[in-house]
Amino acid sequence: MMAEFMIDKLEGPTTTVPIAGQLLGISRNKAYEAAARGEIPTLRFGKRIVVPTMPLRRMLGLDED
């Protein structure tokens, strides 16, 4: 089970790429590489890249459909 303090990172509508990587168990650099390949869903606002939490929660198996 994922630690509760980590799940708290998924409360808002988006999170950062490094936090998504941490939740997925990969490094910051690997997370940005996966985001660039489309393996981690992202939204871009200018230069800022964020990860929508709903798809990330599904990737982590935290949401039941």
pLDDT digits 0-9 by tens, 22-60: 999 999 999 999 999 999 999 999 999 999 999 999 999
Residues 6+ positions from 25 with CB-CB distance below 8 Å: none
Residue 50 lies in a domain: yes
Residue predicted with more confidence, 1 or 9 = 9
Range of 19's domain?
12-59
Residue 54 lies in a domain: yes
**pLDDT surpassing 60 at residue 1:** no
Residue 65 lies in a domain: no
Residue 7 lies in a domain: no
Q: How many domains does the chain have?
A: 1
Residue 53 lies in a domain: yes
Model-level pTM?
0.86
Residues 6+ positions from 12 with CB-CB distance below 8 Å: 53
Residue 22 lies in a domain: yes
Residue 4 lies in a domain: no
